[in-house]
Structure 1
Amino acid sequence: MSKLTLIAQEGYSEQILSAIQGFQGVEIRDLFQQTVSNQWVENYFNELDPLPNQDALTKLDNQLEEITHAIQFVEHHGSSREKGLHLKRKRQTLRKLEESFDESALFSELASIQDLEQRFSAANERQRNLHEQEAILLKWQALDFLPKEYALHSTKCFLGTVDASNWELFEHEVKERQFHYEIIYSDDQIVNFVLLYLRGEQAAVQEVVHQFSVAAFTYNYAQLPKLELARIQTATLELVEEQKKLTRLIGQKKIVIEALETAEEVLLARKNRWLIHDRFIKDDKVFLIQGWIEKDSFIDFETFVGESIGKENLYLEIEEPTDMEIQEEIPTKLKNHAVVRPFEMLTEMYSLPKYHEVDPTPWFMPFYFVFFGMMVADAGYGALMLVATTVALRTILPRGMERFMRFFQILAIPTIIWGLIYNSFFGFSLGYPPILSTSDDVISILILSIVFGVIQIFIGLGLAAAENIKAKNYLGAVSDGFAWQGIMIGAIIGGLGKMLLNNQSLFMIGVGLACLSALLIVVTPMLQSKSKIKGLAKGAYNLYGITSYIGDLVSYTRLMALGISGGSIAAAFNMLVGYMPPIARFSVGILLMFALHGLNIFLSLLSAYVHGARLQYVEFFGKFYEGGGRAFRPLKTEEKYVNIEQEK
């Protein structure tokens, strides 16, 4: 990484930011963050307000919300006869994407959709009101006079609703007082009624109404309920036709969803540019920005930005990061071969290396490659993985999904190879003697698993020694790396001499090398420490850690266990279906095979993924790797719908 400094006139700021975002290779530094290397900002720009224009940011958020809402409204309420044209994921540069964006057309379409939404909402509200009125009038349709036109000199009428549980008591009271009543509607919950009484009995009626919690009903319609119901039903039918027409009009807007999604991608890119407006210097004259860029990318960036606004209109330089910047803020970007690159996600899940720390990805990738295949170990499963991932990668996928698919596409190869070694194809034999039999060669597979573990741990110790040498900690290289390698080599030589070759001299050489290495583990901390006693205690404690190495080697036996169990389960499924009668075998049995093997594939892949990662994180990384680096986060777009290509 190099530190980039760019200075230009204020008028070019938006063009430069757009170019940086399209280049996708520059992380913008926060110049207002309190660091030693940013002291000059306080000295020369102490009166500058670093806060961005929040009104512009709010406007962008509102526009994005309107677009999202418009898309959802059209999709959910438009006619199903109209096909929605979503933006097909493609690769495009930011410059071309922004050139295709017509802001005035966007606002016109949003206004049109909002008008349709208002009409649709108004129609729904009218429909709701009509349904409410209909529900009320259905319970009063037996009413055969208009209460407001009932104007006798001596009597009055009262319309009310009483709870069905109170009706008998209410009815008894009404009869006692000799009021005339008529039931208009009744069900298990309510009773609607009309009460006729003399005007002089107004107070008595109010007393009874209050006593039984009667709800008064006021009928304000101009016609009788039956006529009003007929009018409402006619209005409802007309409203349904209007809603159908609106649904067709809304459905026709599905053809603009693609344009709306393009606009959303562009506005998201603008928002990302606005979100870093508090990181650089900009006043009425000058625009100054600093960031981190790959050293190898600087020439391409210089050429690209120079062509965008003219080389004469900007000043560019790069410089090596200082020790303080490396310790405090410099980001880490992994750079590996295309085959290794998908495995970087495992490193990122654990922790990125610090800037000067070794990248463990190319070192663990071959082991993970072998271990995964050894744990799944079925040529049929591997072939299925290879076909599925290859077909998926023929389409344009989101970058995260694309890397995930490439990861499993690569891992399909060792899965096929180990399946051929174990002679397993969806649990069936391929008709030749297996190189390693999961039933007869269990001990051989177990030994092979531990051998793989010894090799990986040995390499991890070598990396630990290399890291110490790079830090000029030569004694640490001995105690943390070389001495432990010596113990392992000595144990291997001694074991071969004693158990396989029956050679006493070879056995003694191995024991001597192991003892010498153990002595170095104890003595080296004494040389590093001022207090020899403390150093001796530390060395003895370090040597006690040899027990953890035994546990590490035992962990590698899972390579054998998972590989054998997956194949055995697949064979058991085949045997289960094989016991079925012929009719069931070729009907239900086929479906059962799909279901059972699908479950076994899922569990096998999940187990291999998790346990393979665990072997790297615990048994391998624990020997040399610390991590704690900060990810390189260049100014980019969201890539919600479009994969933005780096402009060069």
Structure 2
Amino acid sequence: MAVSKMSKLTLIAQQGYSEQILSAVQGFQGVEIRNLFEQSVTNDWVEKYFNEVDPLPSQDALARVDHQLEQITHAIQFVEHHGSSREKGNHLKRQRATLRELEETFDEEAMLSELESIQELEQFFSEASSKQLSLQEQENLLQKWQSLDFLPKDYSLHSTKCFLGTVDASVWELFEQELKDRQIHREIIYSDDHIVNFVLLYLRAEQGEVQELTRQFSVTAFTYNRPYLPKAELTAIQRELLELVEEQKRLAQLIGQKKSVIENLETAEEVLLARKNRWLIHDRFIKDDKLFLLQGWIETESFKAFENFVSNAIGSENLYLEIEEPTNIEINEEIPTKLKNNAVVKPFEMLTEMYSLPKYHEVDPTPWFMPFYFVFFGMMVADAGYGALMLVATTIGLRTILPRGMERFMRFFQILAVPTIIWGLIYNSFFGFSLGYTPILSTSDDVISILILSIIFGVIQIFIGLGLAAKENIKAKNYLGAVSDGFAWQGIMVGAIVGGLGKMLMNSQPLFLIGVGLAVFSALLIVITPMFQSKSKIKGLAKGAYNLYGITSYIGDLVSYTRLMALGISGGSIAAAFNMLVGYMPPIARFSVGILLMLALHGLNIFLSLLSAYVHGARLQYVEFFGKFYEGGGRAFRPLKSEEKYVNIEQEK
């Protein structure tokens, strides 16, 4: 249970095997590819021996894959949104498979053919929709002119003219009065609260006056050049719209039939995403017309399995493989961190990742804080009913195949359901109800005992954190640092505990003096030790005195652990208050509205309790525990693998 030991892998083969090797590396999912063209001390040999080799351009291939991915996404969305609801289709159910299995089932020609077929249907559908929109606009326009019972061209003679126009309804009366004064014939074709459509008949000699009036009243001229009357044209348009509706129904049915290929398209998308990830690292290795050379990071214990796997893929005689220990420069600047823990501790790694991964040479804090987080979470939620509900929900959820992150999150809360149940039984709380026995600790009568227990847990965790600080300093051969940062502070804590027990509980003066003496001696070590580490004794003494002043922060750290008591009591009290509230309701309301109210209130309390326990439990680790020994700043191990958008890719054996 620590940071995995890593080795630097070197692989050399003929250029013709490069794609097979990359596919195998991706299927193995255990090798992070180094960038050989990145300027570093450990890559000097690249410039020396391969100065004429440039990183391979991959933009064209990447653009092609990206274009295909866009086509797939667009095609799926189009089929879902426009296909007939009568046609059935399913999305790809999350499953487990190896990359090789996926790529063997991938038929690029079939995929391109399906995409072309969907694009053709989309083109027909788009043309029908555009035509429908155009006809609807014409219909809306002609509906306001359908009362026109003559063709304007028939009334435009050498002595008379016909004018069709639209004016704002608010000025029609004034406009009409002006027309009356000039004895110009007018007829209203359509009117509403906003506009008036009209026809004017006038002598050509009056054209100037008409133009002036239309300009003055902002009249919009309407030109009607159709061969038939608006009513007849409208009938033809409506008939054509009905035909288009039928055509769209037919197209929707054809599009809906394409729902059956959504699963195949999503499988193809998973394969293309894997290919894209391979193309994204094409500028990290050396490849010319003869040679293929890559380097990467691999877990030392996985090398034999990787060697056998790649050898089986292309033949051991066709490649050269070796691993070597990382140099000090690589450890400090480049090597990635991969945590290695058992199945119980592994879900808690996400808390470490949220804070910061350890550096390669640093201790993994996950197995050290996991037992404390386990206890603290249960103590803060502390309801057997809530815990049982968590256990059932997460167990059911884990029976299905979930995305990796979701699966780890579910396992995390499945484990935390156990202490929640245990502490609920200790506090005798089941959805806020009493189970009918005397609790081991009562949240109403034993508040002080729970408070003391919370602080004891804090003392134990801080003590272990200081021990880890001493251990890390010893590993770094900083023995004085181990004393001043770890052992001396532990001595103060032990001395304070022994002195307190001797004075307050056992009434033993010798025990009290031993405790005080140990605490004073440890405090002196904190003050004096920096003097041996510094060239200037005065500066060292000042640093030591400042370090000793940090004892006030330890008091604050211990006070922080009282939240274990506060949150545990508050959550149970709120649940009991909800039960009491519903209990006061009349029987009819209690077993109708009361049930819904109980579900809503307890649902809210569960959410708030879990959120509080999750956040405050993490805070106790990050601030009070990690602050004693942990630095972090490691870089995550990122092996070449697929996106796992739809499929959980299993490591090939």
Shorter chain as denominator, the TM-score bin is over 0.9
Q: CA deviation at 1:316?
A: 0.6
2:508 maps to which of 495, 503, 508: 503
1:600 maps to which of 580, 596, 605: 605
Q: CA deviation at 1:168?
A: 2.0
Separation in 1, partners of 2:247, 2:333: 65
Question: In the TM superposition, what whole-angstrom CA distance separates every residue of 1:138-190 from its partner, at most 9, and x where no partner exists?
Answer: 10011001113334331110111111122222212222222111111111111
Amino acid at match of 1:34: Q
- The answer for the alignment partner of 2:592 in structure 1 is 587
Q: CA deviation at 1:336?
A: 0.5
- The answer for the alignment partner of 2:3 in structure 1 is none
2:149 maps to which of 144, 158, 161: 144
Question: In the TM superposition, what whole-angstrom CA distance separates every residue of 1:248-303 from its partner, at most 9, and x where no partner exists?
Answer: 11111110000000000000000000001111111111111000000000000000
Q: CA deviation at 1:375?
A: 0.2
Q: Does residue 344 of the first structure (1) align with residue 349 of the second (2)?
A: yes
The answer to whether the 8 Å contact 1:381/1:425 transfers is yes
The answer to whether the 8 Å contact 2:454/2:565 transfers is yes
Separation in 2, partners of 1:482, 1:346: 27
* RMSD value, Cα: 0.8
- The answer for the alignment partner of 1:89 in structure 2 is 94
- The answer for the alignment partner of 1:616 in structure 2 is 621
Superposition pairs of residues 196-595 of structure 1, within 5 angstroms: 196-595=201-600
Question: In the TM superposition, what whole-angstrom CA distance separates every residue of 1:587-609 from its partner, at most 9, and x where no partner exists?
Answer: 00000000000000000000000
- The answer for the alignment partner of 2:128 in structure 1 is 123
Question: In the TM superposition, what whole-angstrom CA distance separates every residue of 1:310-330 from its partner, at most 9, and x where no partner exists?
Answer: 111111110000000111110
1:69 maps to which of 70, 74, 78: 74
Amino acid at match of 2:68: Q
Equivalent position SS for 2:339: coil
Question: In the TM superposition, what whole-angstrom CA distance separates every residue of 1:83-124 from its partner, at most 9, and x where no partner exists?
Answer: 221111000000000000011110111011111111111111
Separation in 2, partners of 1:507, 1:83: 80
Separation in 1, partners of 2:515, 2:555: 18
Amino acid at match of 1:359: D
Give unmatched runs, 5+ long, in structure 2: 1-5
Amino acid at match of 2:19: E
The answer to whether the 8 Å contact 2:56/2:287 transfers is no
Separation in 2, partners of 1:118, 1:288: 47
Question: In the TM superposition, what whole-angstrom CA distance separates every residue of 1:471-517 from its partner, at most 9, and x where no partner exists?
Answer: 00000000000000000000000000000000000000000000000
The answer to whether the 8 Å contact 2:527/2:548 transfers is yes
Equivalent position SS for 2:284: coil
Separation in 1, partners of 2:356, 2:153: 81
Give unmatched runs, 5+ long, in structure 1: none
1:640 maps to which of 639, 642, 645: 645
Q: CA deviation at 1:220?
A: 2.2
Separation in 1, partners of 2:528, 2:455: 30
Separation in 2, partners of 1:151, 1:208: 19
The answer to whether the 8 Å contact 2:466/2:490 transfers is yes
Separation in 2, partners of 1:471, 1:274: 41
Separation in 2, partners of 1:278, 1:172: 81
**Bigger Cα displacement from structure 2, 9-18 vs 473-482:** 9-18
- The answer for the alignment partner of 1:111 in structure 2 is 116
Separation in 2, partners of 1:84, 1:497: 76
Separation in 1, partners of 2:236, 2:56: 61
- The answer for the alignment partner of 1:631 in structure 2 is 636
Separation in 2, partners of 1:424, 1:313: 66
Question: In the TM superposition, what whole-angstrom CA distance separates every residue of 1:593-629 from its partner, at most 9, and x where no partner exists?
Answer: 0000000000000000000000000000000000000
Separation in 1, partners of 2:238, 2:259: 32
Separation in 2, partners of 1:602, 1:84: 35
Q: CA deviation at 1:534?
A: 0.4
The answer to whether the 8 Å contact 2:58/2:283 transfers is no
The answer to whether the 8 Å contact 1:423/1:433 transfers is yes
Amino acid at match of 1:386: L
Aligned residues: 648
The answer to whether the 8 Å contact 1:75/1:84 transfers is no
Amino acid at match of 2:80: E
Separation in 2, partners of 1:45, 1:84: 53
Amino acid at match of 2:631: E
TM-score w.r.t. the length of structure 1 is 0.99
Equivalent position SS for 1:355: coil
4+ runs deviating over 3 angstroms: none
Separation in 2, partners of 1:449, 1:625: 23
1:102 maps to which of 79, 103, 107: 107
Question: In the TM superposition, what whole-angstrom CA distance separates every residue of 1:399-423 from its partner, at most 9, and x where no partner exists?
Answer: 0000000000000000000000000
Superposition pairs of residues 178-189 of structure 1, within 5 angstroms: 178-189=183-194
The answer to whether the 8 Å contact 2:390/2:417 transfers is yes
**Bigger Cα displacement from structure 2, 449-458 vs 36-45:** 36-45
**Bigger Cα displacement from structure 2, 211-220 vs 553-562:** 211-220
Q: Does residue 134 of the first structure (1) align with residue 114 of the second (2)?
A: no
The answer to whether the 8 Å contact 1:154/1:198 transfers is yes
The answer to whether the 8 Å contact 2:454/2:564 transfers is yes
Separation in 1, partners of 2:87, 2:370: 49
TM-score w.r.t. the length of structure 2 is 0.98
- The answer for the alignment partner of 2:169 in structure 1 is 164
Q: CA deviation at 1:51?
A: 4.3
Q: CA deviation at 1:200?
A: 2.2
The answer to whether the 8 Å contact 1:20/1:26 transfers is yes
Question: In the TM superposition, what whole-angstrom CA distance separates every residue of 1:418-442 from its partner, at most 9, and x where no partner exists?
Answer: 0000000000011111000000000
